[in-house]
Amino acid sequence: MSMVVYLAFVAAAVVALRHGPGRALLGVYLPVLLLIPDGFRAITPGLPDPNFSQAAIIPIAALALLRYGPRWRPAPMDALIVVFAAWVGYSDFVARGYDDAQNLMFSMLFSVLAPYFVARWVISAEGLDVAMARRFVIVVFGVALVGVYEARFGLNPFHALIGPLFPGQGKGWVTTFRYGMARVAGPYSHAILAGIMLAVAFILQRWLQTAGQWEPRFARFKALPWPKARVITAVLVVGMAMTVARGPWLGAVVAVALFAVGQAANRRRALMIAGAVLALGAAAGAWALNDYLDIKPGAAMTMSQESALYRKVLFEKYFDIALESAWFGWGLTTWPKVRGMASIDNYYLLIALMHGVPAMLMLVTMLLGSAVQCVRRGLAEAPGSHGPAFAFAGIFVAVFVALGTVYLGEQVLPTLFFTLGWAQGWLRTGATVPTRAGASQQLAAPRFRHVIG
């Protein structure tokens, strides 16, 4: 039954061949990525085991390479991501051998490199920036609506519906609770990962809303008295709240502050003020956390204190282990475990353990380097240009913050690299984004030409 995964490959291939890679991204890859849990795989004897999103990106990447590869002009970020993927794959091969490492190497190809380069080449070339953001937001908006059911009944419908097709898979993902509430995970399998995905959608929604890229009302629900953009924003906020995931909440707050800089009349001054406020907030937070964890002997701890203290002790114990094999790490699953601390809730520490300190530094450079590139581009834009520069920067900063509390896995991995490629493609086009009044013609025309040509 697991061979049903390859239907995603067939659907993407058919749409890409008939209508082009851009239409396949919008119509197949993005819905598959955002709606089907990544943990379900086709068990293929003797070959890597692809999940739905990996299967869908393969034919799109092949066609995108043929169509846009000859025009590609490499950039430093392209090289960094290629080196990162190669480093991670090679480090696991050295630690565990090919038989165990093949799935991770396959993941580096089709959850890192393929999403990055397809987005890098296709989205801006076909004028799909707004269409891609709208599709992303609407799909995640639907996920948030379904999340109300999960929060109420404690049952993840995405796993419940597709799980029977994959016996023995996905059993480790269960609904978790905090403060007596079921934490919504949706198709992203873990509440913190769901929080990151909802935060990405929320930031894209803020850009679309301020750029006037939504119709005044929902076409099918015209009786609703509220504007479409505000309804979507409100539902995404409620969706994030239902995850009860503090790391993504904090990342979203920082991202919104950064995005607000792009809306200011004097962006440079606003950036300085935002930076100062965030620096003061970080210092105050560090002081408060230290005081919070200064627990007197014999005093009872709250659950939140226990969780925070666990992370603090965990980092101290695993830091030295990471440095013992600093270059290539210990392997995906073979890093030494400290008794009682098998779960590492900090991806920077985890990737250093698995694949070495250089891999961790490359990831940090990708996130912060891309954010800086986007901020510089945003500062250089004319007022009223409505470009997504500060939205992209906010996404990368939000993910950077959230990864301090969870691993980079499931749909968050390909989504991050898809967005990195999207941003790099947009940074090199010099294109501006028209308001909704002129968007229907200016943005639809490039898509139509590629569909028939």
Tokens of 47: 């070959």
Contact 434, 443 (CB under 8 A): yes
Provide the pLDDT for residue 286.
61
Question: Which region, left, alpha or beta, applies to residue 381 given φ > 0 means left and ψ of -120 to 50 means alpha?
Answer: beta
Residue pLDDT, tens place only, 340-355: 777 787 899 999 999 9
Choice between 150 and 447, residue whose per-residue pLDDT is larger: 150
Alpha helices, DSSP H, located in 244-326: 246-263, 267-292, 303-324
Using CB atoms within 10 Å of the CB of residue 343, give its burial: 0 to 12 exposed, 13 to 18 middle, 19+ buried: exposed
Averaged pLDDT, 400-413 = 89
**Cα separation, 145 vs 234, whole angstroms:** 11
**Cα separation, 198 vs 234, whole angstroms:** 12
**Cα separation, 84 vs 184, whole angstroms:** 32
- Reported for 278-287, long-range contacts at CB under 8 A and 24+ positions apart, including other chains, are 278/254
Cβ atoms within 10 Å, residue 75:
15
* Helix 129-153 with 412-427: angle, nearest 10 deg: 160
Instruction: Write down how long the chain is.
Output: 453
Across the chain, what does the average pLDDT equal?
Answer: 85
Tokens of 218: 């929902």
Closest-CA residue to 192 (of 242, 143, 148, 232): 242
DSSP state letter for 331: -
Sign of the CA dihedral running 148, 153, 154, 159: negative
Q: Is the pLDDT of residue 387 over 50?
A: yes
Choice between 345 and 129, residue whose per-residue pLDDT is larger: 129
Q: Is the pLDDT of residue 263 over 70?
A: yes
**Cα separation, 270 vs 261, whole angstroms:** 5
Model confidence band, residue 319 (pLDDT cutoffs 50, 70, 90):
confident
Using CB atoms within 10 Å of the CB of residue 24, give its burial: 0 to 12 exposed, 13 to 18 middle, 19+ buried: buried
Provide the pLDDT for residue 201.
97
Choice between 328 and 446, residue whose per-residue pLDDT is larger: 328
Averaged pLDDT, 381-401 = 88
Q: How far is CA 78 from CA 114, 119, 369, 424, in A?
A: 12, 12, 12, 9
Residue pLDDT, tens place only, 196-248: 999 999 999 999 999 888 888 887 776 777 888 899 999 999 999 999 988 89
Tokens of 231: 């309804």
How would DSSP label each residue in 389-452?
A: HHHHHHHHHHHHHHTTTS-S-TTHHHHHHHHHHHHHHHHTT------HHHHHHHHHHHHHHHHH
Residue 181 dihedral angles phi and psi, to the nearest 5°: -110, 140
What lies within 8 Å, CB to CB, of 325 at 6+ separation is: 356
Model confidence band, residue 292 (pLDDT cutoffs 50, 70, 90):
very low
Sign of the CA dihedral running 34, 184, 367, 352: negative
Choice between 393 and 303, residue whose per-residue pLDDT is larger: 393
Q: Is the pLDDT of residue 400 over 90?
A: yes
Residue pLDDT, tens place only, 152-210: 998 999 999 998 899 888 877 888 888 888 899 999 999 999 999 999 999 999 999 99
**Cα separation, 400 vs 392, whole angstroms:** 12
**Cα separation, 304 vs 424, whole angstroms:** 39
**Cα separation, 331 vs 99, whole angstroms:** 13
Percent of the chain with pLDDT over 70: 88
Q: Is the pLDDT of residue 14 over 90?
A: yes
**Cα separation, 2 vs 391, whole angstroms:** 37
**Quick one: CA torsion of 21, 27, 33, 37, rounded to 10 degrees?**
-140
Averaged pLDDT, 79-93 = 94
Provide the pLDDT for residue 385.
76
Contact 42, 6 (CB under 8 A): yes
Provide the pLDDT for residue 238.
96
Side-chain-side CA neighbours of residue 276 (13 Å) = 6
Tokens of 435: 């308001």
